[in-house]
Structure 1
């Protein structure tokens, strides 16, 4: 079993990443013009297309596809949590 399955990304659904898509080259295409993802529902704090969201929004799958050869899963989590705190 891989590390991602053993320890999922500790997302608390705060929506900070969805409110700041303009800050990353990988997510700029989701910007509705004010830095917020056009799929983000501000009244529920949830994604309107969660089941079909882009790969960049699927943390574990994005990691497996693009970053697993560069970072250990625990290090990737740490880096991303530091980014979350800055947002």
Structure 2
């Protein structure tokens, strides 16, 4: 399967990568293999295949939203280095 020549310099620039000549050769070959694989996939007849997001049906993947007891403010702030009015006190970082 023939594919067009990959402009690896353009791809590297778009990805903001500084590649060595050896890396350019390696990645160019690898990208070519990916494009050849995509050509094989594009050749498949998928007209009767229903689009899916998962390979098997998912149902009720979320747990039931149940109210459960949590930490008290004292328990939640037990390891805080400083606290005030049930809040953790941290150094100011924005003026």
Q: TM-score normalised to the size of structure 2?
A: 0.29
Relative contact order: is structure 1 or structure 2 higher (C-alpha 8 Å, sep ≥ 6)? 1
Q: Which structure's CA Rg is the greater one? A: 2
Higher helix proportion (structure 1 or 2): 1
Q: TM-score normalised to the size of structure 1?
A: 0.31
